Amino acid sequence: MSTTSDAGPLAPGVTPTRAVLSAVGVHLPEDVRDVAAAERALAQRSPGAVPRVPMVSRLTGVRQVHVLPADWDASDLAVAAAAKLLAAQGLAPTDVDLLIFASASQDMVEPATCHIVAAKLGVRAPVMDVKNACNSVLNALEVAEALVATGRYATILVACGEAPSRAVRWDVPDRATYVLSAPGYTMSDAGAAVLVRRATAGDQQAEGGPRGILASAFGAESSHWDVGMLPGGGTAHPRDVDRTYFEIDGSRLREAFLALGPDVILDALARAGMTWDDVALVAVHQVALAYLDDVHDALGLPSGRTIVTVAEHGNVASATLPLQLATALETGRVGPGDVVVLVGLAGGISIGAMVVRL
């Protein structure tokens, strides 16, 4: 079993190399749930606690969500996306120097889910989990970039398996519980994978500018950690079944996000030497269709540069940015040489922005 990278460290005096996002893959479960229909069924089961009119689908614009198979776990979603990506790139699991499982979801508290993903995928390399709510994938890319730059690894696979549907509460005893549970009805399951590799001479000399991660910036306002929680399973509530469901104050979470402002995003652009005129696509985390205009205004995002996925696919947590990037690539919205900005927003709360030339 390999316990160290074959890439080796950089020689003294060698300039750190750029990390390239060379491929992205997504797996969406075939089973879908109609949000409005699910709300109506819930209202019949919990009269008085749940509005008879489907409010969540109406207020968020989310029409349907994906639901993983009953015998699947978060690791299976990650493996499905990663296997698809490796096959498309003509790579074997043995070509991976490091596997990072990046997700808000996890199979269990111990061991780290990265081990389960690696075992199912056949990867025999060092592994780790990176977890920061809906910014898990973006933070994993930050870690991967740094490790590639130091020469520690040459090929890093970031695998994500989001299964938030398992933590959505459908047994609603009263209106207060419904209010905390309702934002979870837009949660959706998905797998995603991103391949990060060391730039080649060809990448560095690509027409239009060098390929890869050009710059990034991150920030957090951690005093808002309690506006969105999944409290059970840790030391705070180790065996309280009622705390194993999402508890989200939707209005407070929205206010916290809007208060973040555009500084982190503008900082990333400035570090990359870019303006919005240079950007072909802004992939931004999406929790509701109705919030997008507010988010665009608060963060200073240009109109017409985003792609909407939340209406048809729901809130897929940290798989959102890979989903949007994969969709843009598949539909021809972006291609080689284009600059994209990945904007992450996560409970806790945190914000991140990464400028990438494809």
CATH for 263: 3.40.47.10
| Active-site residue set | 134, 285, 315
Q: Domain check: are 124 and 250 in the same one? A: no
Give the pLDDT band of residue 272 (cuts 50, 70, 90): very high
Answer with the one of 201, 235, 268 that is the final residue of a domain. 201
Q: Is the pLDDT of residue 1 over 60?
A: no
Q: Domain check: are 182 and 267 in the same one? A: no
**Is 3 part of any domain?**
no
Q: How far is CA 292 from CA 281, 287, 310, in A?
A: 15, 8, 10
Answer with the one of 183, 201, 219 that is the final residue of a domain. 201
- pLDDT given for residue 204 in this prediction: 83
Please list the residues that pair with 312 across neighbouring strands. Answer: none
Q: Is the pLDDT of residue 119 over 50?
A: yes
Which pTM value belongs to this model? 0.93
Q: Domain check: are 45 and 89 in the same one? A: yes
Q: Domain check: are 228 and 350 in the same one? A: yes
Answer with the one of 140, 171, 201 that is the final residue of a domain. 201
Lowest mean pLDDT among 33-37, 44-48, 203-207: 203-207
Q: Domain check: are 196 and 312 in the same one? A: no
In single-letter form, the type of residue at position 279 comes to: V
**Is 12 part of any domain?**
no
Q: Domain check: are 91 and 151 in the same one? A: yes
Tokens matching residue 39: 């709300």
Q: What is the mean pLDDT of residues 263-285?
A: 94
Q: Smallest Cα–Cα separation from 333: which of 304, 311, 312, 355? A: 304
Lowest mean pLDDT among 29-33, 197-201, 209-213, 256-260: 256-260
Q: Domain check: are 195 and 213 in the same one? A: no
- pLDDT given for residue 3 in this prediction: 35
- pLDDT given for residue 4 in this prediction: 36
Q: How many residues does the chain have?
A: 358
Q: With beta carbons less than 8 A apart as the criterion, state whether 191 and 79 touch.
A: yes
Q: Domain check: are 257 and 160 in the same one? A: no
Q: Is the pLDDT of residue 256 over 50?
A: yes
Q: Domain check: are 179 and 246 in the same one? A: no
Q: Is the pLDDT of residue 127 over 80?
A: yes
> Residue 333 class from Cβ within 10 Å (0-12 exposed, 13-18 middle, 19+ buried)?
middle
Q: Is the pLDDT of residue 6 over 60?
A: no
Give the pLDDT band of residue 15 (cuts 50, 70, 90): low
Number of structural domains the chain divides into: 2
Q: Smallest Cα–Cα separation from 177: which of 82, 247, 280? A: 247
Q: Domain check: are 197 and 213 in the same one? A: no
- pLDDT given for residue 9 in this prediction: 52
Query: Domain range spanning residue 342?
Result: 206-357
Q: Domain check: are 173 and 322 in the same one? A: no
Q: Domain check: are 254 and 294 in the same one? A: yes
**Per-position b or e across 204-225, b if 16+ CB within 10 A of its CB:** eebeebebbbbbbbbebeeebe
Q: How far apart are the first and last CA of the chain?
A: 33
